Structure 1
Amino acid sequence: MNATKVVPWMVVAVALGCVGASLLTPAKIRGFDLDGFGRIPVLEGGRVKPIDSVARNSLLVIRGQQSFQHLGRTVGPDEWLLDVMLRPDVAEKQSVFVIDDPEVLGLLGLQQTSSRYFSFKTLAPHLDEVQRQASAAHDIDAKQRTRFQGAIVTLFQRIYLYYRLQNTLQMPGTSGLDSELESIATPEAGQRHEQLAELAAFRPLPPPAGASADAWRSVGEALGAARSGMMDPALESLARLASAYDENDLEAFNRAVVAISEVAASRRPDSLGQADSERLFNRAQPFYAGMVIYVLALLTLFASWLWKRSVLEPTAFALLVAGALIHTAGLVTRIFLQGRPPVTNLYSSAVFVGWTAVVLGIALERIYRKGFGTAVAAASGFASLIVAHHLMGDGDTMEMMRAVLDSNFWLATHVITITIGYGGTFLAGALAIGYTLRRHLSRRPDSTNSRTLVSMTYGVICFSLFFSFVGTVLGGIWADQSWGRFWGWDPKENGALLIVLWNAVILHARWGGYVREKGIMAMAIFGNVITSLSWFGVNMLGVGLHSYGFMDSAFRALAGFIGSQLVLIAICLLPAHFWRQRAVAAVKTTSQPV
């Protein structure tokens, strides 16, 4: 049996099987049916989603992670949300609030230790001071705030989100939702219901069949309607669920979960199906799985340069293809869940840029078969998904579209086309970085492979120029239809134009003989700088029609990336084996007799 053919296919099967296994549910429910609870659809942030997404996004905002350790065991997002809403005394002891700023810690009288996480119970005595400081800082423009002011505003937002979650199903300190139903006619009840309606973080009660799709109600709103004699059966099921969880009654809790799901299925079967799909998407975490597989592909390729190249190099390519398939599945699922093209915000643009680079890298590898395409594709895919991961801090990555962007036609043409241009330009830069490292690290000069890398980079730049140019023109047409002008020198427009011009400059410099191998590759690396400024720099400026929020936290990362690219450009322009020649010269100098 030929190992060079069998092993890669076996690796692909194992990689895909591991991801598929995460979608399986246990045949028998043991304990609370957290999986069933997580599938319950709710309305939050303008869209219907599973309660699991609310839990994950909220915990991600508050803690920066989707699970945590407490009392020696892992607490998942759904269990945490249940504790926050129905067992506040338990949740308040869980260390979920992340605080990094030393001045904020000093304000709260907390010591800076190895742990950055603190419980609500620890913060509770200082809530008034946090609110006072945050109110003072809130009036200051985000770009003008000090580090302390930005940190205190962020902490207050996390605390307020936690407080809203606490007051979604029932108010902390009360006897519970079932007692609320029993005392629904008391004079004090109306005020509590209004407060619950105002603070609710999401709406769990689906509208009846035939009602407006966004007519979901919060518990407070449903309690107000019940005072008028219109009791919602789903509200009673929620009350049973709350009581069962508080009393640790597993069977009653699981029956209540089934009853709530049945109500949703009878009223909004489409919402239940979509929520179930999103729950599976959350559990599979395809982009995290893609990151892992891209790293494995890269490590396998590196190993192939030292041992068993005939087996390991095809295996690395097979892993890359497996990662691309999982990456693609994640993209397609997001398209289905949103009902939108793949790029709708910065997070999705990072995912799509990486996907573009991976697909182009696979195509290059199939054409040249030298391992270079596998290397840059795996590295680019991993890097882009890492960037996407760090853009998840706001929680929901499938939020509702802004009105000016709410056009599937232009999202599918201008935005997709120009993002493909981003991906291609970054891939060209990655190839140039590989060329640079190879020139200075390889033991023997290899002009053939160097020319191959230059040829690959040239082809990718041509590809990028086409899509960047078409995307920029389409953007101007969209602007003319939306704002009545084709071009307005908006920062994002200028950034898009710079990408087009820079790619054109590289091609003209090559055709005119102004630059040779090193020059082309150095210019390709600088393309990374221009593209990153157009992609992220506009949002950091906080001005222009395309800026939707000041990204102060990303400034250092962008500055570090640009600095690294400038260093790589300098290294690229040095003579081949510059460092080794310097070392040899130093040895000769020290060995000469004095």
Structure 2
Amino acid sequence: MRPRLPALAFGAAALWLALAFLPPRTKGFDLAAFGRLPVLHEGRLKPIDTVVRSSLLFLRGKQSVYDGRRRLGPVEWALEAAARPEKADELPAFVIDDPDVLGLLDLERKGRYYSFRQLEPSLAAVAAQAERAESIEPARRSRYQAAVLALHARLDLYRRLRNTLQPAGAADFPAEIALLEKDAPAVARALHEHRHGGRDAKTLQRIMPILERSQLLAEDALFQALPPRVDGGWASVGEGLLQAFESGRTHPGALAYARILKAYRDGDAPRFNEVVARWRAELPAQAAAAAAREAAVSRYDPFGKGMALYLAALLLACASWLFWPEALSRAGTALMGAAFAAHTGGLLARMLVHGRPPVTNLYSSAVFVGWTAVLLGLLFDLRPRKAAGADGARGAATAVASAVGFATLIIAHHLSAGGDTMEMMSAVLDSNFWLTTHVVTITMGYGGCFLAGALAHVFILRGALGFPLDEESGRALERMTYGALCFALFFSFVGTVLGGIWADQSWGRFWGWDPKENGALLIVLWISLILHARATRTAGARGVMALAVLGSALTAFSWFGVNMLGVGLHSYGFMDKAFAWLAAFILSQLAVAALALRLPPSPSRP
């Protein structure tokens, strides 16, 4: 049984990953088909699924909401908001953590989640407080002011979502559009005459309600759901209706979406599925195919599956330190390999969908840092047994690489709550060549630094807790840490130099002592210090490990900390809530490094 454990672990993981490719069974409303419909949002074509998934994450911090009986996914929640707002308003879709904001809303704390109906009486008060907070510089805002602004942004997004495909509360919008279609020629003539001094007041009075509702839809639209007809770009449903007042014809997509929502509101699943399929057939084939690919990636959730497998690999590797060292360490490596396959698949899928290199923003950097660390961990684990060391060292490499992979994907998950993770690039970053060279290489350096620091954690913590590695495993772990540091130095140095060349081309100077540039330089200098201390025997095993742990703290500050400074040319990803987590991480690294002073010196090194 034990010799077959690695194969069984890998086989079970591979089967689980393969079964997830099976399409979901459609019972009733084909929500997946609706979620695959392409729309234009924030300058990028994407499926409705992506828009509403990121919207629910922004509102609630989760990808589902409980209606008292079952959990609704993002697409179903969005349909409720558009077609049955009276029900959606009762769902606890808003996360509120700040006690002072609850006081403003006159609500008692009952969990973290609240419904729009509970917040509705205080909308004016929230808007007034948000207006005051908006006038204050971000760095000077209090916790309460930042929380009020966040709530106001969530409320505004929800309002826009409800008024994108049809006006909130519309009982029979297809009938209204049909009436507009019937009167469209007269409407166009009346408006033309009105602009030229005509007096067809009767027609204008009749069309004024639908004109106002169409303008509301055009102004509040969260996304543009209607493809170009002959020329021009994508349009919102409101803009598609307003075309009737110019040309005498509405966009056919406006009526299609109205019929979809009417069928959903009426509980008519066959009609819903029929209209969705018919409308998808009329969409541009390339846009529909691209949206379907992105929706499939979201449904498969490769990074979520990778997180689960990394956690399982970590547990098996830790268990190998207690019993069955060879079987469990190898089983952990097998699971880490399966997790890495899912991780790699997710990276490749994002590159295919986005048409960009793997790192374009903070979210993708977190994904790629973990991928790099796990790749190194696998290389360490898959070396010949004599080179890799004892099973204790093998288990350590699996444990720390899986831990880094899991942690970075958790970080990425929380970063995704800020919105679309494949947003349009700012002009200075819109270069696939430099994103492939400078950004990717510097991020690989981060991955090497974190893996080296994580390996050092095992060495220090096991020794401090009275469970030191045996001499062979300790030496193997030191060699792995040294290898990770060399890897990190190479990519950090090359990435920093390439960054200077990019800066010279973009801003006209190679080096400007920008905070991000300083952070990259500090990483290179710090790793160089560690390697020189090791080579000159100024630091022994415990000294190298302590310095590697401190390198993790320095890397975290360079990666995230400079974004929180709010200054410099690299502050693309400011995050209000991340400072406490970053500070806690840095303090924990200082504490672990201090523990190294309690370890006995290595018998072969100072």
TM-score range, shorter chain: over 0.9
1:279 aligns with 2:275: no
Residue 19 of structure 1 is matched in structure 2 by: 17
Secondary structure class of the residue paired with 1:239: helix
CA distance in 2, matches of 1:160, 1:11: 47
Residue 177 of structure 2 is matched in structure 1 by: 181
1:225 aligns with 2:221: no
Alpha-carbon shift at residue 226 of structure 1 (Å): 2.7
Residue 588 of structure 1 is matched in structure 2 by: none
CA distance in 1, matches of 2:573, 2:176: 41
Alpha-carbon shift at residue 393 of structure 1 (Å): 1.8
Q: Is the alpha carbon distance of 1:411 and 1:453 closer, same or farther for their aligned partners in structure 2, counting shifts above 3 Å?
A: same
1:269-288 Cα deviation digits (max 9, x unpaired)? 12111111111111111111
Secondary structure class of the residue paired with 2:71: strand
Contact 2:166/2:258, CA 8 A, preserved across alignment: no
Question: Which of 428, 445, 451 in structure 2 is aligned with 1:427?
Answer: 451
Residue 149 of structure 1 is matched in structure 2 by: 145
Contact 1:418/1:468, CA 8 A, preserved across alignment: yes
Residue 172 of structure 1 is matched in structure 2 by: 168
1:79-130 Cα deviation digits (max 9, x unpaired)? 10001111111101111111111111011110012x1111111111110010
Question: Which of 528, 543, 566 in structure 2 is aligned with 1:504?
Answer: 528
CA distance in 2, matches of 1:519, 1:74: 51
Normalised to the residue count of structure 2, the TM-score between the two structures is 0.91
CA distance in 1, matches of 2:563, 2:253: 43
Q: Is the alpha carbon distance of 1:45 and 1:20 closer, same or farther for their aligned partners in structure 2, counting shifts above 3 Å?
A: farther
Contact 2:50/2:298, CA 8 A, preserved across alignment: yes
1:245-279 Cα deviation digits (max 9, x unpaired)? 12111111111110111111xxx212111111111
Question: Which of 99, 102, 108 in structure 2 is aligned with 1:102?
Answer: 99
Q: Is the alpha carbon distance of 1:129 and 1:443 closer, same or farther for their aligned partners in structure 2, counting shifts above 3 Å?
A: closer
CA distance in 1, matches of 2:133, 2:268: 45
Residue 42 of structure 1 is matched in structure 2 by: 39
Alpha-carbon shift at residue 19 of structure 1 (Å): 2.7
1:536-584 Cα deviation digits (max 9, x unpaired)? 011100000000243221000000000000000010121349xxxxxxx
Residue 190 of structure 2 is matched in structure 1 by: none
CA distance in 1, matches of 2:139, 2:434: 31
Residue 354 of structure 2 is matched in structure 1 by: 338
Residue 194 of structure 1 is matched in structure 2 by: 215
Alpha-carbon shift at residue 142 of structure 1 (Å): 1.4
Question: Which of 551, 556, 567 in structure 2 is aligned with 1:532?
Answer: 556
Residue 192 of structure 2 is matched in structure 1 by: none
Q: Is the alpha carbon distance of 1:446 and 1:560 closer, same or farther for their aligned partners in structure 2, counting shifts above 3 Å?
A: same
Question: Which of 57, 62, 69 in structure 1 is aligned with 2:59?
Answer: 62
Contact 2:534/2:540, CA 8 A, preserved across alignment: yes
Secondary structure class of the residue paired with 2:417: coil
Residue 138 of structure 1 is matched in structure 2 by: 134
CA distance in 2, matches of 1:81, 1:282: 16
Residue 572 of structure 2 is matched in structure 1 by: 548
- Equivalent runs, 1:1-400 vs 2, <5 Å: 4=3, 6-26=4-24, 29-113=26-110, 115-184=111-180, 185=187, 186-208=207-229, 211=231, 215-227=233-245, 228-264=247-283, 268-367=284-383, 368=388, 370=391, 371=394, 372-400=396-424
Contact 2:449/2:551, CA 8 A, preserved across alignment: yes
Secondary structure class of the residue paired with 1:124: helix
Alpha-carbon shift at residue 174 of structure 1 (Å): 3.4
Alpha-carbon shift at residue 305 of structure 1 (Å): 2.6
What 5-or-longer segments of structure 1 have no aligned partner?
578-594
Alpha-carbon shift at residue 21 of structure 1 (Å): 2.3
1:416-463 Cα deviation digits (max 9, x unpaired)? 000000000111111111110122235466232222211211121111
Alpha-carbon shift at residue 26 of structure 1 (Å): 4.0
Secondary structure class of the residue paired with 1:188: helix
Contact 2:86/2:169, CA 8 A, preserved across alignment: no
Alpha-carbon shift at residue 350 of structure 1 (Å): 0.4
Residue 183 of structure 2 is matched in structure 1 by: none
Alpha-carbon shift at residue 310 of structure 1 (Å): 3.5
| Larger mean Cα displacement after TM superposition, 302-311 or 159-168 | 302-311
CA distance in 2, matches of 1:297, 1:549: 31
Q: Is the alpha carbon distance of 1:40 and 1:445 closer, same or farther for their aligned partners in structure 2, counting shifts above 3 Å?
A: closer
Alpha-carbon shift at residue 242 of structure 1 (Å): 1.7
Contact 1:338/1:398, CA 8 A, preserved across alignment: yes
RMSD (Å) for aligned C-alpha atoms: 1.6
Alpha-carbon shift at residue 300 of structure 1 (Å): 1.2
1:183-212 Cα deviation digits (max 9, x unpaired)? 42413322221221111001111224x746
CA distance in 2, matches of 1:251, 1:459: 60
Secondary structure class of the residue paired with 1:49: strand
Q: Which amino acid aligns with 2:214?
A: H
Alpha-carbon shift at residue 169 of structure 1 (Å): 1.1
| Count of residues in Structure 1 that have an aligned counterpart in Structure 2 | 567
CA distance in 2, matches of 1:347, 1:123: 31
CA distance in 1, matches of 2:361, 2:28: 38
1:476-523 Cα deviation digits (max 9, x unpaired)? 000000011000000000000000000111111122221111111111
CA distance in 1, matches of 2:573, 2:354: 22
Contact 1:97/1:117, CA 8 A, preserved across alignment: yes
Q: Is the alpha carbon distance of 1:158 and 1:434 closer, same or farther for their aligned partners in structure 2, counting shifts above 3 Å?
A: same
CA distance in 1, matches of 2:567, 2:369: 24
Contact 1:20/1:284, CA 8 A, preserved across alignment: no
What 5-or-longer segments of structure 2 have no aligned partner?
181-186, 188-206, 602-606
Q: Which amino acid aligns with 2:215?
A: E
Q: Which amino acid aligns with 1:18?
A: W
Residue 184 of structure 2 is matched in structure 1 by: none
Identity %: 51
CA distance in 1, matches of 2:341, 2:573: 33
CA distance in 1, matches of 2:112, 2:322: 42
Secondary structure class of the residue paired with 2:358: coil
Question: Which of 453, 464, 481 in structure 2 is aligned with 1:457?
Answer: 481
Q: Is the alpha carbon distance of 1:491 and 1:176 closer, same or farther for their aligned partners in structure 2, counting shifts above 3 Å?
A: farther
Secondary structure class of the residue paired with 2:382: helix
